[in-house]
Amino acid sequence: MLVTTSRDPSAKARRLGKALALFLSVPYVNRGKQSPSDDDTWLVVVEDHGNPRGLVKRSNGLDEQLSFKVVLEPMPAKGRSKKIVSVVTGRMEEALPIARFFELEWQESLAHQPLRALVVASGEIDFVDEDEAKFRLKIC
């Protein structure tokens, strides 16, 4: 899986794309004029008037979209992040579609507290790393 933005992204879209890639431990690609290949899964940060408004997952010639509003902006990363596999947690009805979208494992609760989790609740996704919310998206 790769994370990228549109061809001429805003600073906010680039920042979100880089934060998402870092959080998911996947590469961030400056797309430029290249197009996603059918062999890879791409998460493309899409924007509306300079603000990130969604992700388009492109995989095997199919597109799937997740629309959101950024509630808590990602902070610039300090240093390198450990390669840790994220999990998705929350009620099955809300969290399982998010886990499938990001191709991650779903856990109903965080009994064995992972270091990195997407916590889905009340229509929001908190990207939590070592008990600290790095950024938050409100699902539309």
Q: What is the CATH number of the domain that holds 47?
A: 3.40.50.10480
132 Rama class: left (phi>0) / alpha (psi -120 to 50) / beta: beta
Rg over CA atoms, the chain? 14
pLDDT of residue 33: 62
Average pLDDT in the chain:
88
pLDDT of residue 82: 73
Tally of domains in the chain: 1
- Mean pLDDT per 10-residue segment, the chain (140 residues): 89 94 91 70 93 93 94 76 86 95 89 80 93 92
Q: Which DSSP symbol is given to 28?
A: B
25 and 80 Cβ atoms separated by less than 8 Å: no
Compute how many other C-beta atoms are within 10 angstroms of the C-beta atom of residue 83.
Answer: 7
Give the range of the structural domain holding residue 48, as residue numbers without chain letter: 2-139
